[in-house]
Amino acid sequence: MTQRRPELRALVDDGTSLAELLEHLRSQESFTLTPLAFLKVVQLELGISFVRTRHLLEFFDPEMEPLADSAVIEEYWRGLLRGTWP
């Protein structure tokens, strides 16, 4: 079962970048950052469905290290948060 991470909503509301959010998740001893774990926590805490966030994983390798320019990833992430991407 996925442990709740209610602080993610506050971080996003404060304008935290996706890179900073991923670093926050990596720093949590009780959380292993994997693509599936990321999708689950985003759906659970931010209410963004797997269907929409799964496309974000195209920008990351299996260890959640970026494969694209950080500005491109951040633009996509901000679009997801606004509900304008895909």
The answer as to whether 34 is a domain residue is yes
Q: What is the pLDDT of residues 12-63, one digit of tens each?
A: 999 999 999 999 999 998 899 999 999 999 999 998 998 989 999 999 999 9
The reply to whether 2 falls in a domain is: no
Domain residues for the domain of 14 are 7-82
- C-alpha to C-alpha distance for 31 and 23, rounded to whole angstroms: 11
Distance CA 56, CA 27 (A): 21
* 19 assigned to some structural domain: yes
> Taking the model in full, what pTM does it have?
0.86
Sequence-separated (6 or more) residues with CB below 8 Å from residue 58: 67
Handedness of CA 72, 14, 64, 27 (dihedral sign): positive
- With a cut of 90, say whether residue 4 has pLDDT above it: no
Judge whether 72 lies within some domain: yes
| Count helices and strands in the chain by DSSP H and E runs | 5, 0
Instruction: Quote the number of domains for the chain.
Output: 1
- The answer to whether residue 69 sits within a structural domain is yes
